[in-house]
Chain A
């Protein structure tokens, strides 16, 4: 902590010149933001490829994938994916996507880059912690990747790593030896990184706001990042000790999660008295807030972008949405038990957990209605960013609706652990958050790299993705209704065999939608080096990031003291040269 007070001093006068200081171990929040974004980009690519592999396996269980045997001779002999390798792919897909994409990109990535700018600060409160935060996360990523190359492969216990499968060790199956150890260590490191990040976000938001930037004048994106940081602070502080206990159970012979008298692959385990449910409680107390850590930043990003392209402020101003996000964040700590309705927990507590879970739909319903009500009477401008915002609203509705089913214990007894659940959280958490990331990318890239992205490619990317995700995840609801259990590497049960064609359809859709993402990758890379120069405020937006150059100078505002004089979303203003009022009028941004 004592390092903290040194920060106002370590602020560097002039940008560092050395490559290492400038691009690698940089203290500049903008560079760190881009580093997070790049890490998420790499992670999302890996995660997508993994999903392709196991989708192919689900459609055609005995199909040989040429070349895979060279990557994993044990996992895919002759290119045919074994049941345990399917689970490994699934586990790594879930872990990578949830932790290294959905937490990194919308929160740590965009947040690091734009939170200080949007509040008129010239850097985060603790640049050194900021740098440590990224490099810890990066180390976590490397450790996670290492699991692919250990002897018997990555862990097979799913991203939730339920004890006792995760806590027993190698007897539990291939991948549960070193692979699971690496998993636990990686997640522990990730927690540390995110804790440092959250600390930074909170302190920065509270203390480094410039003159006139009152809390009610903060853009919704900043609000979302702030709230997310508050959620993450507690969530990751809960997961970290859980991971430590798991590692001890696996390596030090303790019995936190391992009960007595377990016989795993004919070996009587030397444990006594542990509680497998304890892991589930610790995990989901983190796990449910984690869902909101993924979705609330995306929510804020959309709420931040939409007014710009509607050319009108949101219905009811920013306060309603802020209230919704705060309420959701608060409630998210009372509902973890709805993941455990049939876990052997006391059936009475199921009802206690189900009520707040249903109540949590209220803030999100209100927020959705606010979005819809805001579109009424707007002057919608269509481009990649705004399209992804509208797409976000649609998929968020689709995903939120299915929450009504799973929040009820009496339906969970039928739908629990079926593809209905997979469809639900992919729509509401994964796809919605990814749409938020895409919207943010198309909206902010001009500012981040100073070049305009290609709109035609962007729109094409939107349409293929939008239709694609519905083709992938809508059918999963039907599978769930038919009782199709998730995490099955092949469908041998009589009642599942008729459903295989649906899986084939989903696989094809997934491959095509995945292929469409290469348009995005191409667009991004092409823009980075060959895109046309971006003006300072291409979207006629109002918030502070648009009153500086693209990309912003090293200290964000070229030494100008920003004084905020207006609310964040003053659009549709009449009687002026423009239909909008910038948040600050101090010194027009210097042109290129």
Chain B
């Protein structure tokens, strides 16, 4: 009697664990890193006049600049999303939520990559009402205001898409939700560098996306725990 239960239990445990083992993607140790640069003269970023929103203006000693083409030393290009667009061997399910802040009448971060159906939390850290209007085309579009002191907006996106985000109250506030099918992605920093970690051996197509200059792809093959380099160069125009 008792043994019967025991047997059943052990079988169940074995089966379960076995399934878990197979279900988990092979946690790889390879990685892809590189630098995003540009050629040509970039457009001049304009200073943002926040005088209509004093509570925000006083948070910035120097005027905030527009960020759609954010260049750095050595022709580096920031806010470029690099991700595995093909060859990905299943990603780990999105674990924790990504956080999007409205602070000093800016979206932080300017570009927010996330995985499909990953939890997204939007906070208003300002003393003024904000309005979040992601202009989604594939996913469902919504438009909500967030007065100071109201709870964070908790949502998620079900389909991959590059979604421009705007604030209907502060027209200069602009950002992007980048909803991806993979958990293997990175955003280029102020120096233009990025690193995608945790890649098992395999052939990959890597895509770099810039909000104004579109996408570029490269094929990268990873064998074992090596770090491959993939640099991207965008051609920019002054206007």
Contacts and interface: CB of A to CB of B under 8 A. Distances in A.
A80 B149 contact: yes
Contact of B144 (A61, A74, A267): A74
A83 B145 CA distance: 7
Interface stretch (B38-46, B85-93, B127-135): B127-135
Given A82-B129, A492-B128, A62 B166 contact: no
Contacts of B149: 62, 64, 78, 80
B150 A77 contact: yes
B164 interface: yes
Given A265-B166, A265-B168, A62 B144 contact: no
A82 B148 contact: no
B35 to A, nearest CB: 31
Interface in A209-250: none
A83 B168 CA distance: 11
B164 A266 contact: yes
Contacts of A508: none
A83 B164 contact: no
B97 interface: no
Given A265-B133, A265-B135, A266-B166, A81 B143 contact: no
Interface string A73-95: 01001101111110000000000
A174 B141 CA distance: 11
Contacts of B129: 82-83, 490
B146 interface: yes
A266 B147 contact: no
A80 B133 contact: no
B147 A80 contact: yes
A252 to B, nearest CB: 21
Contact of A78 (B128, B135, B145, B150): B150
B143 A77 contact: no
Candidate in B128, B143, B151 with the most chain A CB atoms within 10 angstroms: B143
A152 interface: yes
Contact of A82 (B53, B128, B141, B145): B145
A173 interface: yes
A81 B153 CA distance: 15
Contacts of B145: 82-85, 174
Contacts of A267: 135
- In this complex, the member of B142, B143, B147, B168 whose beta carbon has the largest number of chain A beta carbons within 10 angstroms is B147
Interface in A171-210: 173-174
A490 B166 CA distance: 21
23 contacts: A61-B147, A62-B148, A62-B149, A77-B144, A77-B151, A77-B153, A78-B149, A82-B150, A83-B129, A83-B131, A83-B147, A152-B142, A152-B143, A173-B168, A265-B135, A265-B166, A266-B135, A266-B164, A266-B166, A267-B135, A490-B129, A492-B53, A492-B128
Given A81-B147, A83-B169, A265-B166, 10 more contacts: A62-B147, A77-B151, A78-B151, A82-B129, A82-B145, A83-B129, A84-B131, A265-B135, A265-B143, A265-B168
Interface of B: 53, 128-129, 131, 133, 135, 141-151, 153, 164, 166, 168-169
* Nearest 5 Cβ contacts at the A-B interface: A82-B145, A77-B150, A78-B150, A80-B147, A80-B150
